Structure 1
Amino acid sequence: MPNKTLILGVAALSVAVTGMASPSFAAREKMTPEQRGQHMIERLDTNKDQKVSLTEFQARISDNFKTFDTNGDGQISAEEMKVKREAFREARKTWKEAKAKTGTERETALAKLREARPAMLPGLRPKAFKRVDADGNGSLSASEVSSAAEAMFKRRDKNGDGVIDAADFTKKI
């Protein structure tokens, strides 16, 4: 009889522990395409109509261009792009180290991570940089980035209605 009680107790404890652990695992699941799309719309939709127009998209790209053009010459060099990526990697490494800590060290690391995070910009990756650099001069002009952003917008606008909205992220299209 004591063995049955012990087995039942262990089984109940296992179920309880598993039940407590599963919500934390669920929180780590990857976002669905629809959730990522909604997050993107929330960030880019300046007039809050739940749609992103090409004008709103281009405005964000223009702002992002300025953050990458650190020397203010109207061009983003491959070196400026590389420095931005490296700063993000370093901030992410610091954040991972500080994640287990509490207090100001953790908050400072998170703030640096958010500041260093590369913004959405065509040509961010080295291969894409070469593709966006239409004139092949080794740097990206605002017009090259704007043209690439327009092409990116058109790819995202799956239903061709001129705006990016929730319908563009459903699997039915």
Structure 2
Amino acid sequence: MTTKLFLLSVVAATIAVTSAVTPSFAARQKLTPDQRAEWMIKRLDTNKDGKVSLDEVKARTEIAFKSFNTDGNGQVSHDEMKAKRQAFREARKEWRKAGKSEEARAEFREKMKDIRPAMLPGMRPKAFKRIDADNDGSLSLAEVTEQAGKMFKRRDTNDDGFIDASDFTKKI
């Protein structure tokens, strides 16, 4: 009888610990392609019609370009990109040190509105060289916008002029 009671209590304790730990592992899982698509559409869809137009992408690209162009000269250099990414890394380190209370998360999200590096064509060194059409070592808004348009056209798999959920479904 004591052995059965002991085994039962071990099983109960295991279940209790497992159920407490499982949500934290679930929170760390990577997003599925469908979740990433939904997140991207939600972030870029400024008029909330459930799809993203080329104009919305260009508007977001211009906002991102301005956030990287810290010296205001109309060009984004390698150094400006590195500085933006480094500021984001430093802010994330601060967040990890501050803990994960809801107050700390809210403060981090507010701070990230200005620091978070938005996606900007040319962020990676090889892409930077490819997008820099005039080979001057920096990216202009025209170069970045042209590349964003190309990326939009690649993502718009059904050629309807919008990126929506149907563009993320696998073709059979």
Same fold (TM over 0.5): yes
Change (3 A) 1:54 1:110: closer
Corresponding residue for residue 147 of structure 1: 146
* Matches for 1:36-51 after TM superposition, within 5 Å: 36-51=36-51
Corresponding residue for residue 112 of structure 1: 111
> Equivalents in 2 of 1:109, 1:166: separation in Å?
30
Change (3 A) 1:94 1:113: farther
> Equivalents in 2 of 1:15, 1:49: separation in Å?
44
Using the aligned pairs only, state the percent identity: 59
- Number of residues of Structure 1 aligned to a counterpart in Structure 2: 172
Change (3 A) 1:135 1:87: same
Corresponding residue for residue 67 of structure 1: 67
CA contact (8 A) 1:98 1:109 kept: no
Gaps of 5+ in 1: none
> Equivalents in 2 of 1:81, 1:28: separation in Å?
27
* Matches for 1:80-119 after TM superposition, within 5 Å: 80-100=80-100, 102=101, 108-119=107-118
Select between 136-145 and 19-28 the one with higher mean Cα deviation: 19-28
> Equivalents in 1 of 2:103, 2:11: separation in Å?
42
Tell me if 1:77 matches 2:40: no
> Equivalents in 1 of 2:105, 2:34: separation in Å?
31
> Equivalents in 2 of 1:20, 1:84: separation in Å?
38
Corresponding residue for residue 8 of structure 2: 8
CA contact (8 A) 2:95 2:104 kept: no
Shift of residue 138, structure 1, vs aligned partner: 0.3
Deviations 1:26-50 (A, max 9, x none): 2222111111111111111111110
Shift of residue 106, structure 1, vs aligned partner: 6.2
Gaps of 5+ in 2: none
Instruction: State TM-score, norm by structure 1.
Output: 0.89
> Equivalents in 2 of 1:58, 1:106: separation in Å?
30
Instruction: State TM-score, norm by structure 2.
Output: 0.90
Corresponding residue for residue 30 of structure 1: 30
> Equivalents in 2 of 1:109, 1:129: separation in Å?
29
SS in 2 for 1:136: coil
